[in-house]
Amino acid sequence: MRVLVYSDDAGTREKVRLAIGRRPAADLPLVEIVECATQPAVLKHLDGGGIDVAVLDGEAVPAGGMGISRQAKDEVHNCPPILLLIARRDDRWLANWSRADAVVAHPIDPVVLAEAVAGLMRARLSVAPAR
């Protein structure tokens, strides 16, 4: 499965990549990580298909993950599930506005993030058309 990881911060992308690992849970297939540092790159990958789950940094600049999530949910056919990284738990209402499927707060807890991504991967596998 392909997991897109978006953040303008290379350190955040690395933390997400390490938390997910090659397989976030034993019952799931191996993961290929696609890293993006810009909004146009994210939208190109999502529009092109083949992304199974997207992890977007809500604190990225200049384009935050919340806005990208909302745009993707509105514009991308068969948009993959989106996990949004937020700075404060109080930002959950914004995550709801963005139509994200899951939310994890900073600082990133690798176990929590891996479990959340695994849940989204399972959901995607249950509804994804065969490739």
From its phi and psi, is residue 21 left (phi > 0), alpha (psi between -120 and 50) or beta? left
- The band of 17, judged by pLDDT with boundaries at 50, 70 and 90, is very high
pTM for the model stands at 0.94
Q: What is the mean pLDDT of the chain?
A: 93
Q: What is the extent of the structural domain holding 123?
A: 2-127
Cα-Cα-Cα-Cα torsion 119, 121, 127, 128, nearest 10 degrees, comes to 170
CA distance 67 to 52: 19
Question: What is the number of structural domains in the chain?
Answer: 1
What sign does the CA torsion over 15, 21, 26, 31 have? positive
pLDDT at 80 over 90: yes
Nearest to 58 by CA among 94, 32, 86: 86
Residues ≥6 apart with Cβ < 8 Å to 50: 2
Tokens of 90: 């109080």
Q: Which tens digit of pLDDT belongs to each residue from 18-58?
A: 999 999 999 999 999 999 999 999 999 999 999 999 999 99
What is the mean pLDDT of the segment spanning 62-91? 93
Q: Which CATH number covers residue 94?
A: 3.40.50.2300
